[in-house]
Amino acid sequence: MNNLFTNTGSSSFTEFLRGYAPEMLPGNRDALPAPVGEQIPHATTIVAVTCAGGVVMAGDRRATSGNMISNRDMEKVFRTDEYSCMGIAGTASTGIEMARLYQVELEHYEKLEGRSLSTDGKANRLAAMVRGNLGAAMQGLVVVPIFAAYDEKIGGGRIFGYDVGGGPYEHQLYHSIGSGSIFARGSLKKLYRENAAPDEAVLTVLQALYDAADDDSATGGPDVTRKIWPVVAVITDEGFRRLPDEEVTAAVETLLAGRMIDPDGPTAPLR
């Protein structure tokens, strides 16, 4: 047996892959010509907020290729381990590949070391993977993730953002990425309430995604006719939990009922 498999010299699966099969790393793939690259489906808006005892992340379901809708029910929020998740924006195929590799990275570390990485360690490992994709990003295959986790040391949620060169950059309270992020973040500035209960935080991120879809054509709103709702995940000391469609449906119906009365949504009180 190849000694590389039994004695990797590192707890990092990415480092192992770099030594054994570097061509399988996302950043080492050949970039596509610009006209083709522009037609690759792109993921759009992800929102994350901290709440009482944890963090909530939600993503819309739309993927676009140029000015066309290429997918209406894409998954953009991924469980990475029991107490963390990541969302992707940018080149969809590369982002999904990065998310899957990151899942293996965390599992590989836990199996070799017998313990989980710290929250900062998880954020830094993802930063290294984003940095490894820099060459492809400079040629148009950009992936920008957002990472959220429950940190047992502080007993609460933490959120990290990235740029194409890596990071990580910790964001207090809330953050958003993707083409609709500027509108989602503007919504969060008015609606976010620190230490809100998780169910209230879920409504907040859904309102932010709705506002993003209202102004950004690449962001998909709730699809009532097809019953396609945003993906919503809550992470607390009890672990990662993706909300089932029944719960998201109830929250979306509450949101839509309010929008029927006021299309611009709820407003923050001026005091």
CA 185 to chain centre: 15
Q: Largest Cα–Cα distance in the chain? A: 70
Q: Which helix (H) or strand (E) holds 160?
A: strand 156-163
208 neighbors 177 (Cβ within 8 angstroms):
no
Q: Is 44 a catalytic residue?
A: yes
Beta bridge pairs of residue 91: 42
Token pair in block for residue 245: 């469609």
Of 14, 44, 80, 236, which one is the catalytic site residue? Answer: 44
Residue with structure tokens 């993906």? 231
DSSP state of 267: -
189 neighbors 176 (Cβ within 8 angstroms):
no
Q: Look at residues 249, 185, 167 and name the one whose alpha carbon lies nearest to residue 45.
A: 185
91 neighbors 135 (Cβ within 8 angstroms):
no
CA 243 to chain centre: 15
Sequence letter at residue 231: V
Token pair in block for residue 251: 């929250």
SS3 content of the chain, % helix, strand, coil (to 5): 40, 25, 35
Task: Just list the catalytic residues.
Answer: 44
